[in-house]
Chains A and B, each alone.
Chain A
Amino acid sequence: MSGGDAAREVASPASVRAALSVRDFARSYGETVAVAGLSFGVGAGEILGLVGPNGAGKTTTLRSIAGVLPMQRGTIEVAGCDIARDEVAAKAALAWIPDEPRPFEILTVDEHLEFTAALFGLVDWRERAGALIERFELTEKRRVVGAELSRGMRQKLAFCCAWLCEPRVLLMDEPLSGLDPRGIRAAKRAIAELAASGTAVVLSSHLLELIEELADRILILDRGRGLFLGSLSEARTSLTGGAHASLEEVFMTITGERGADAGVPDEGTDGEGA
């Protein structure tokens, strides 16, 4: 198992019904195929690292799971709810942090949390919101409006909003960009702890060290196709032949063999592979 396991105990994937299940998901923009027949699952408490070169389909996949983009083909279930048929229930169980969070320009940090609480129908949220604001070092910015927040602060605010609604599934696209070293450290710890509390996390990043440190399993995408899904140790053994190869070496080996579908298991409908 990869790093981050000291902080939490990951439930055995096979024993837990997948919190997130993606089956035969495909998506295109006009003639361009962004994602072609992708299947994977993420169990409760598990962190899945999503890696791939630019244009691989990572963000499209995450935005579709989040319900930002409509489904074209396949099935996505969040906490057992189909995102196409039971959209509101599915969305109530997930939180989405895009690569460039854009807060409401005229709302303060506090008001963003107030809105999030109302949106997710939370009660007794204020104390927890205060703790989150403190945790993500936004105490001095509570009354600052979105337009005046720096990139890192916007990221931290997005974290606060996502954490506040205690999601069953958390989707993050490049979550550490814009954060300072302290922020990065706090964010990594927070992600690990959230997963330990039972949230399924999908983490997309080009920072392979981050994935290596936090993810239990990795999904490598290229040109909309899944090239590998499994743990890093499995990847090391099956793809590079070396037990100590880094994720970067694994990534380069796999994406160097463009078009090869090796290593992608055909997952069961309930995400047993997770």
Chain B
Amino acid sequence: MILGHRGLSTLARLKLRGTLRRQARRLRTPSGILFALLGLALMTLWLGAILFNRELGDDFGPARQPASLVMVEACLAAFTVMSLSGALNHRGIFFPPHELETLFSAPVTRGDLVRHRMQVDLARSLFGGVIFSLLIVSRLAHPLLGFAGTFLSLITLSALRQLVSLVLCAAGGRLSGFLGGRLTVLLQIGLGITLWLGLMMALFGDTFFLPEQSSRLHAGFERALEGPFLAALVSPWRPWAEMMVAATFAGFLSWALPCALVLPLLFEVTARLGVDYREASIQTAGVIERRIKRLGTSGPLGSGEVTGAVAARRNPWPFGRGPARAVAWIRTAEILRRARGTLLRSALVLGLVTLGAGFVVPVGEAGALGGHIVVAWVGLVYLGAGMRFDFRADFDRLEQIKTWPIGPGRLFLATLLPGALLISLLVATAIGIRALVLGTGHSALALALILGTLPICALAWIAVDNIVFLCAPVRFAPGQVGALHHAGRGMALMFLRLVVMLVALSLVALAAAAAFFAADTGLELGGDIARAWAIAAGLGALLAVATALVWIGGRLLHRFDVARDRP
């Protein structure tokens, strides 16, 4: 019954074999082995940190209070709200688009397809479930029982999510249209995130706060949750919470048995609902495929969908007319048409970074300037990786782009410039706001220098990113096979980019220092003039570095063989 159709079991088995084969094939090259090892090292470090945190926490850190029952109930409730919010947007049952035609025309019942999908989801969530369980287990009374309880709760929630998305599918467009309206979904996600963050703070607050602050926060949350209304609201999660906080095996078993029975029941109820989810699934698959493609091309911050109303707007030509300017215009159009969501998310992230930089670096003249530099640096790295309005997004069109009647250097510059200007604008806004809020008496000249050099730095950083991409064109989107390799490759590429940027900045610093000493010691022109010389030389060197990077990018673009590597 629960196993489903034999053909679909064969498919699952063959896909597992295929995944392992693909992983093994990646290990045939030295770079594949290196990236796999790097990825493995990263993961080991991460998991090790989680486990040692648990094992050594009591000896080396402050004693941690186990989470109370009501707190765990509330955590589960918050997680359920967040998880089910996703079901509102993705009705039906998700199948990768390339599997739809085969599976929907196959001689199997829809119930079998649901079972197959749920089994695949369950297998895929094993890893995430284990990690999450390891994370939370440090707050539970018994590590092993806590782990098992958390894991069972998470996979039950995954099944519940599938049931809800099928019920919504059955209820039709009207109900899901009402519940899934943009405002309602935003509210639900907002509520879920708030609840979640609040509870995480209460549970893990002592990592960020002093012990007494953490205890107060914890106690405050518990008091709020013990109120009659909230206690009733979170009570449906009682069995799973009891199972997670159980301190003895007998206690665990008494709750785990009914909870374990609920899971297959949910499985079968979901599979037997008899909902015709084909239409909704085709729609969902299309939406998810487009989103994954955009994530893999334009990056997480540039993956907004362009609606008809937005596309109907005429785009300005900010750089004037001409071949290279036309290229810049296309990029500008792309940015503007995806700008709303991108800008909102970017503003949110930059706001958090700005706020964080205010805490991390002590305020004062040097501190304020240091904070500005932190904001600028994090902003450039984050936005540069997240917004890809350049060759990383346009790789599929590179064959066509290479035929355009523009020199490769100009083409490279025109492609990168609008994105660099946008990133500079966002970072400059964040720094400007921070400077206004802090209001410390730091040097206006230093601030002007930071703001003035931002576009050149942004251009240089994105140029390095694109140069690396043109040398090793690799794309990765969530859900793809090879996450371990990608993590290793990402780490190696980040290291490479940092080295290139450090060399570039060293050259700039060297030029500025040489100019300063030449003016101050050699020509004895005085401190102020020597500083002006240093600034001019530094700016000149920065411009020279950016120009060199653009030139290198142009050469790489010119020599790039579109038939060689496909990301």
Given A67-B104, A68-B105, A88-B109, 11 more pairs with CB closer than 8 A: A68-B101, A68-B282, A88-B108, A94-B105, A102-B97, A103-B98, A104-B99, A106-B481, A115-B11, A118-B10, A119-B106
- Quick check: B101 and A96 within 8 Å, CB to CB? yes
B15 within 8 A of A: yes
Which residue of the partner chain, among B14, B99, B278, contacts A111 with CB atoms under 8 Å? B14
Annotate A65-93 by CB proximity to B: 1 below 8 A, 0 otherwise. Answer: 01111100000000000000001110110
Given contacts A107-B15, A115-B7, A120-B107, contact A69 B278 (CB under 8 A): yes
B399 within 8 A of A: no
* A119 partner residues in chain B, CB cutoff 8 A: 5, 7-8, 10-11, 106-108
Which residue of the partner chain, among A68, A102, A105, A114, contacts B10 with CB atoms under 8 Å? A114
Q: Which bracket fits the contact residues of A?
A: 20 to 34
- Quick check: B101 and A88 within 8 Å, CB to CB? no
Given contacts A67-B105, A68-B101, contact A145 B11 (CB under 8 A): no
- Quick check: B104 and A68 within 8 Å, CB to CB? yes
Given contacts A94-B105, A107-B18, contact A118 B100 (CB under 8 A): no
Given contacts A120-B107, A121-B6, contact A102 B101 (CB under 8 A): yes
| CA gap between A145 and B98 in the complex, in Å | 14
* A104 partner residues in chain B, CB cutoff 8 A: 11, 14-15, 18, 98-99, 102
* B9 partner residues in chain A, CB cutoff 8 A: 118
- Quick check: B7 and A145 within 8 Å, CB to CB? no
* Closest 6 pairs (CB-CB, A-B): A106-B18, A119-B7, A102-B98, A92-B107, A118-B10, A91-B107
B19 within 8 A of A: yes
| CA gap between A88 and B8 in the complex, in Å | 14
| CA gap between A88 and B99 in the complex, in Å | 18
SS of B interface (majority): helix
Residues of B within 8 A of A (CB): 5-11, 14-15, 17-19, 21-22, 97-102, 104-110, 276, 278-279, 282, 481
A263 within 8 A of B: no
Shortest CB-to-CB span from B12 to chain A, Å, is 10
A98 within 8 A of B: yes
| CA gap between A70 and B280 in the complex, in Å | 10
Given contacts A106-B21, A118-B10, contact A91 B278 (CB under 8 A): no
- Quick check: B98 and A115 within 8 Å, CB to CB? no
Residues of A within 8 A of B (CB): 63, 66-70, 87-89, 91-92, 94, 96, 98, 101-108, 111, 114-115, 118-121, 145
Given contacts A68-B105, A91-B106, contact A120 B7 (CB under 8 A): yes
| CA gap between A108 and B19 in the complex, in Å | 11
Which residue of A is nearest B11, CB measured?
A: A115
| CA gap between A67 and B106 in the complex, in Å | 8
- Quick check: B14 and A107 within 8 Å, CB to CB? yes
* B102 partner residues in chain A, CB cutoff 8 A: 104
- Quick check: A106 and B107 within 8 Å, CB to CB? no
A-B contact pairs, 30 of them (CB 8 A): A68-B101, A68-B105, A68-B282, A69-B278, A69-B279, A70-B276, A70-B278, A87-B109, A91-B106, A91-B107, A98-B101, A102-B99, A103-B98, A104-B18, A106-B15, A106-B18, A106-B21, A106-B22, A107-B15, A107-B18, A114-B10, A115-B11, A118-B9, A118-B11, A119-B11, A119-B107, A119-B108, A120-B107, A121-B6, A145-B21
Which residue of the partner chain, among B17, B105, B279, B282, contacts A91 with CB atoms under 8 Å? B105
